[in-house]
Amino acid sequence: MHGDRPLTPGQMALLRYIHGYQLATGGVSPSLSECAQAQRLKKTIIFDRLGALERKGAIRRLPYRSRAIEVLTPPSIPTIDGAPLYAVHVVLSRSW
């Protein structure tokens, strides 16, 4: 699936985020900034994880293009009524 090296939990979390984002937006990939904000990490760490995902064969990036990420080995994404869980708007209510 991902070559001889399994994905780290951080890499898998990023891969799930990217794939869920693509499912929710009709195939558009998130920007580096959006990934960093969603994962609560610095952009340099996201950049490094994207490189690791590419080396491990989980994604392919097109050079010199933003938002150009192809997920080669899609992870399982939980869904609610067919919508990816990352895209489902959650309304929390408190009952005091």
Q: How confident is the model at residue 95 (pLDDT cuts 50, 70, 90)?
A: low
User: Is 28 contained in some domain?
Assistant: yes
Q: How confident is the model at residue 84 (pLDDT cuts 50, 70, 90)?
A: low
User: Is 30 contained in some domain?
Assistant: yes
Q: How confident is the model at residue 86 (pLDDT cuts 50, 70, 90)?
A: low
- Specify the number of domains making up the chain: 1
Category of 80 on φ-ψ map: left (φ > 0), alpha (ψ -120 to 50) or beta = beta
What is the pairing mode between strands 79-80 and 83-84? Answer: antiparallel
User: Is 94 contained in some domain?
Assistant: no
Q: Which domain holds residue 56?
A: 9-87
Would you say 24 and 89 are in contact if contact means Cβ atoms under 8 Å apart? no
User: Is 17 contained in some domain?
Assistant: yes
CATH number of 64's domain: 1.10.10.10
Segment 39-80, tens digit of pLDDT: 999 999 999 999 999 999 999 999 888 899 999 999 887 777
Q: How confident is the model at residue 93 (pLDDT cuts 50, 70, 90)?
A: low
User: Is 1 contained in some domain?
Assistant: no
User: Is 79 contained in some domain?
Assistant: yes
User: Is 81 contained in some domain?
Assistant: yes
Q: How confident is the model at residue 5 (pLDDT cuts 50, 70, 90)?
A: confident
